[in-house]
Amino acid sequence: MDDVELAVDGLVKRFGGITAVDGATFAVESGSMTGLIGPNGAGKSTTFNCITGIHEPDAGTVTFQGEDITGIRPYYCAEYGLVRTFQIAREMANMTVLENLMLPAKRQRGEALWRSVLPVARRDVVREERELLERVWGTLEFFEIQHLAEEKAGTLSGGQRKLLELARALMTDPEMLLLDEPFAGVNPTLEKKLLEHVHDLREEGYTFLIVEHDMDLIMENCERVIVMHQGSVLAEGTPGAITSNERVIEAYLGGEV
């Protein structure tokens, strides 16, 4: 692998008696679009949560751009440039699309913290707000959802919400995005659009790791695929190699999907 963006090594996460992730080891190449697949309960979401600081792993390491980020809190993880998309939570649903995009960008700047201790000229605040709004509108335009700016997030369709989730993640200025089922419940037209956006962003240099149950979608759009099974990595390779891998076929035909 030329340039490793993210490396997960011997990751373990237990919940009481359940070992959700059991020694997962894999690497994601910079600028790649990599799929993380596996039968239900394979440990994909828990792996995402351990990488992005939502869960603290019981063992193993997470290295991002050569730095050990194991166990750091989600906020710091985003500061490093590594973010995962989140479903729009209930409190976000009552906010407009515009407000939903303003919030992560403001948080990223640690606004409240430094403003409370440093005197800031009013014109700087105004300039920053203007720049932020320009970024928000740029992002809305990129995703072609300007017309939804004043809509409450809770009123959006499933597909529009997925666009908003991706847009929100982008507002934190990431370098790598972890997408957990970004296409679930999205109609084919919006799915195509969403995929185009992801490919455009990839061409700009973003790295993607995507958990998705739609196997065809992963195989058609990712250049590398990691297969998890029972908490560890069963296989890793190109879509062609994965599709014909006997162990992968067995894991999927084991009646778990």
Ligand X SMILES: Nc1ncnc2c1ncn2[C@@H]1O[C@H](COP(=O)(O)OP(=O)(O)OP(=O)(O)O)[C@@H](O)[C@H]1O
What are the residues binding ligand X (CB under 6 A)?
15, 18, 20, 38, 40-46
Instruction: Give the 3-state secondary structure of residue 201.
Output: helix
Nearer to ligand X, 55 or 168 (CB): 55
Distance of closest approach, residue 202 Cβ to ligand X, in angstroms:
23
The angle, 0 to 180 degrees and rounded to 10, between the axes of the packed helices 188-203 and 158-170 is 10
Least distance (Å) between residue 138 CB and ligand X? 33
Choice between 20 and 105, CB closer to ligand X: 20
| Cβ closest to ligand X, residue 5 vs residue 180 | 180
Q: Least CB distance from residue 147 to ligand X, whole Å?
A: 33
Residue 225 Cβ vs ligand X, minimum distance, rounded to whole Å: 14
Beta carbon nearer to ligand X, 42 or 88: 42
Which one, 104 or 231, has the nearer CB to ligand X? Answer: 231
Smallest separation (angstroms) from ligand X to the CB of 210: 13
Report the residue number, 39 or 159, with the smaller CB distance to ligand X. 39
Query: At how many degrees (to 10) do helices 97-108 and 158-170 cross?
Result: 20
Residue from 215, 206, 210, 231 nearest 36 by CA = 210
Closest approach of ligand X to the CB of residue 233, in Å: 12
Amino acid identity for residue 94 in this structure: N
Gyration radius of the chain's alpha carbons: 19
C-beta atoms surrounding 95 within 10 Å: 16
Q: Of 225, 207, 208, which Cα lies nearest the Cα of 216?
A: 225
